[in-house]
Amino acid sequence: MQMLIEKPYRQRQSGAIEVLADPDDVFALMCPVREYEWEPDWRTNLILSTSGLVEQDCVFTTPAGASEGSDHDSAEAVWAAPLHDPKARRLVMIKFTPGECVTRLDIDVHARPSGAAVNVSYEHTALTIRGRKVVDEHTTARFDAMMAAWKSAIEGLVGPQKPAA
């Protein structure tokens, strides 16, 4: 049996947004169930969770075509949360899209005098030629637009004068 070893074709984008909201309320929204409250296009097929929300080792799937900001019809994806630490407000999710790529999502929410700082990074690694196209679609402009949309949606839900979740 022969093993193929290649240099990874990957791209990483990271950034931060300041949100005028309680950091615990913001972190609670970083969940495949709670995302329905602030992301109108969010879709999941299945969530495997004891609590009914995101938790350590939670697994969920998103349907084909649900890739954020993508120009192609992605395959159904499987997500896993190997790290969920509400006390530290830290979350890591791994997304596996067969025949395309593996994506790592890191989210850290920190308290700021005016609310919360949300640090987000996505790292996309291609598994195939099709996956390279997927990686290339994740541009800085798309990431920045996504982060601006997150800020607006989250502040609209739990921002100043909004009830806590």
Q: Is residue 6 part of a domain?
A: no
Q: Is residue 5 part of a domain?
A: no
Average pLDDT on 69-95 reads 88
Q: State the chain's mean pLDDT as an integer.
A: 92
- Number of domains into which the chain is organized: 1
pLDDT in tens, 27-59: 999 999 999 999 988 999 999 999 999 999 999
Kindly write down the DSSP assignment for every residue of 17-79, as one continuous string.
Answer: EEESS-HHHHHHT-STTGGGGT-TT---SEEE-SSSS--TT-EEEE-TT--TT-SS-PPPEEE
pLDDT for residue 64: 87
pLDDT for residue 140: 95
Q: Which domain holds residue 24?
A: 11-157
The CATH number of the domain where 75 resides is what? 3.30.530.20
Q: Is the pLDDT of residue 25 over 70?
A: yes
User: Would the pTM count as exceeding 0.85?
Assistant: yes
